[in-house]
Amino acid sequence: GAVVSQHPSRVICKSGTSVKIECRSLDFQATTMFWYRQFPKQSLMLMATSNEGSKATYEQGVEKDKFLINHASLTLSTLTVTSAHPEDSSFYICSARVERGAREQYFGPGTRLTVT
Amino acid sequence: RKEVEQDPGPFNVPEGATVAFNCTYSNSASQSFFWYRQDCRKEPKLLMSVYSSGNEDGRFTAQLNRASQYISLLIRDSKLSDSATYLCVVILTDSWGKLQFGAGTQVVVTP
């Protein structure tokens, strides 16, 4: 089956610093990757949709200058949380879709970010 | 109003019993429906797609009611390993495949 990895799995950083999270599709090429955020006991909230080679599309309320997304290749997308604050502490999950018409998405294991 | 709503539970189920729960969606243009399973602090994993005619996968049965805009999941002969949060997921027709998640229904199977 399709495998998506994320790195790091857990990160603790100080307020004001930036953190980069990588999402890789290991055994397939992902035309589209999605970034989600999940707060405790809440649903996954889509942050942005990232297509290889083009700018990400951000959901309403998500600051694109704060959450920088790069999808430079068909197997790698990165999310950089810039100038992180404690309220950015959350579980960040990426998912990947093989092709445009595919309904299924494959999820990475998630990255737990704690900002102190 | 949330796009996808679920009873958060928890549903406490004795091992071997049957449990069922629903999920309602607000957008009638919703096209595709899924149940995902999420274990604590883990990523969601696809449990099953939900088809218009209803479908079964082992002990799991999913139903779709478009008229009333809800989907359901029934688990028969519950196992301890079924303890998890079950996420209802919907894709809108024109959403470029964006998944809309419910907040999940927690199921706790007890010995």
- Identity of residue A95: S
Residue at token pair 């959450």:
A67
Full strand arrangement of the beta sheet holding A76-81: A4-7, A19-25, A76-81, A67-73
A36 and A95 Cβ atoms separated by less than 8 Å:
yes
**Two tokens at A56?**
């990400």
- A59 DSSP assignment: P
- CA-nearest residue of chain A to B34? A104
The pLDDT of residue B63 = 96
Low-confidence ranges of chain B (pLDDT < 70): 1, 93-96
| Chain A residues with beta carbon closer than 8 angstroms to that of B49 | 103-104
CA–CA min distance B44, chain A (Å) = 7
- A110 DSSP assignment: -
The C-alpha angle A34, A38, A2, rounded to 5 degrees, equals 40
Backbone angles phi, psi at B80, to 5 degrees: -55, -35
> Which region among A44-58, A70-84, B44-58, B86-100 has the lowest average model confidence (pLDDT)?
B86-100
Nearest-angstrom CA–CA distance, A98 and A28: 7
B91 and B32 Cβ atoms separated by less than 8 Å:
yes
Does pLDDT of A69 surpass 80?
A: yes
- The residue among B45, B89, B99 with the most chain A CBs within 10 A of its CB, best to mutate, is B99
- Other CB atoms within a 10 A radius of the CB of residue B18 amount to 13
Does pLDDT of A101 surpass 70?
A: no
Query: Number of C-alpha atoms within 13 angstroms, CB side, residue A73?
Result: 9
Q: Does A2 touch chain B (CB under 8 A)?
A: no
Q: A41, B43: Cβ pair inside 8 Å?
A: no
Does pLDDT of A27 surpass 90?
A: no
Q: B87, A49: Cβ pair inside 8 Å?
A: no
The pLDDT of residue A72 = 82
Q: Does A32 touch chain B (CB under 8 A)?
A: yes
CA–CA min distance A44, chain B (Å) = 6
Q: B103, A42: Cβ pair inside 8 Å?
A: yes
- Other CB atoms within a 10 A radius of the CB of residue A12 amount to 12
Nearest-angstrom CA–CA distance, B69 and B27: 8
Query: Number of C-alpha atoms within 13 angstroms, CB side, residue A104?
Result: 14
Residue A103: which of B42, B91, B103 has the nearest Cβ?
B91
